[in-house]
Amino acid sequence: MSNELFQHPHRRYNPLTGEWLLVSPHRTARPWQGQQERPAPEQRPTHDPSCYLCPGVTRANGAVNPDYSSTYVFTNDFAALYPNTPDNTYSHGLLQAQSEQGTCRVICFAPRHDLTLAEMEVGAIEHVVVCWTEQLRDLGGRADINYVEIFENRGAAMGASNPHPHGQIWANATVPTLVAQELHQQRMYWEQHGQPLLSDYLQTELAQQERLVVVNEDWVALVPFWAVWPFETLVLPRRQVQSLDQLRARERRTLAECLQALLIRYDNLFTTSFPYTMGWHNAPTDDGDYSYHTLHAHFYPPLLRSATVRKFMVGYEMLAQAQRDITAEAAAERLRSLPAEHWKTTQA
């Protein structure tokens, strides 16, 4: 950006959360002698009999996976939430607690152990999108569920306990804190301007074209102006919808195309299987009016300088406010300029 402000340390406002972050554009020049990540192995078998997510394998609880050929969903054997948790509360002045009901599921994206979403065909990714949609409808239709969080932790650097291509669903009786925060900000903007916040924001991004990474007829993947993680992206629909289950058939297909194009660029950035946490923010499923909410997905990848050097959220970030070392514009330019073909394909 030409404005001199953005060439020096400055703060940026995140309208989705109401928070500010510090941007220090030249801080990547500092020497690094800290921890370095171990890149993910580039060669894995197509089927691993010791992997609890592969077809036909017996899981830790004794259940046997079917010989599935597309996506496969099951209730998490070590779920963080249970549907039958007894109702209870605790209140003692500032000390407040209440029970929480829900359920957790695992989605195996594909039967092949050696794939990631970035390496899957568009049709296979579309199957994942359809599965996300079906799970949202199924869980969101339950009276005891009011919010469905669909997410993926990709890679050991982001806490994935298994390299098999998979994601998770945590369905809550209550709306989680960060989602509620975004909903509040979007509702306030709607009341003041009569338009969805993220719809207006997308029009600004399309006009400026400085932070766009992938654009097709139905979807945009961009580095948000207020991004915290080095190569963080936001995926937005060009048509105003609140949830995945409102997508048309073509939009599911073009979403798969958008995701593939984005994830290939992630992998190409440092020629590695790029780690990230990704999650969809759908509207709550409590039958409320969420016209002000726009469906979107967040991608939070940790890598900063290379396949081995990551961004740590510590010190100032934990005690004061979020901070990043490269501008959102510089990150978008790097991602946008990368080849659309996966680096493994070009080296084959």
Nearest to 132 by CA among 181, 185, 169, 162: 169
Q: Tell me, what amino acid is at 21?
A: L
Sign of CA dihedral 142, 146, 150, 153: negative
Q: How far apart are CA 249 and CA 112, in angstroms?
A: 26
Angle of helix 197-208 relative to helix 177-193, nearest 10 degrees, comes to 80
Strand partners, 233: 299
**DSSP code for 85:** P
DSSP count for the chain of H helices, then E strands: 7, 14
Catalytic annotation, pick one of 113, 127, 164, 166:
166
Task: Name the H helices within the chain.
Answer: 122-140, 177-193, 197-208, 249-269, 316-319, 328-336, 343-347
Q: Mention every residue, 6+ apart, whose C-beta is less than 8 A from residue 339.
A: 264, 265, 268, 346
Please give the helix or strand (H or E) that residue 299 lies within, else none: strand 296-300
DSSP β-bridge partners for residue 105: 75, 169
The 3-state DSSP class for residue 51 equals coil
Beta bridge partners of 108: 72, 166
- Rounded-to-integer distance, Cα 317 and Cα 308, Å: 21
- Phi, psi angle pair for 297, to nearest 5°: -125, 140
Q: Which two tokens stand for residue 302?
A: 């940790």
List of residues 6+ apart from 87 with CB closer than 8 A? 99
Say whether 26 is catalytic. no
Q: Among all residues, which ones are annotated catalytic?
A: 166
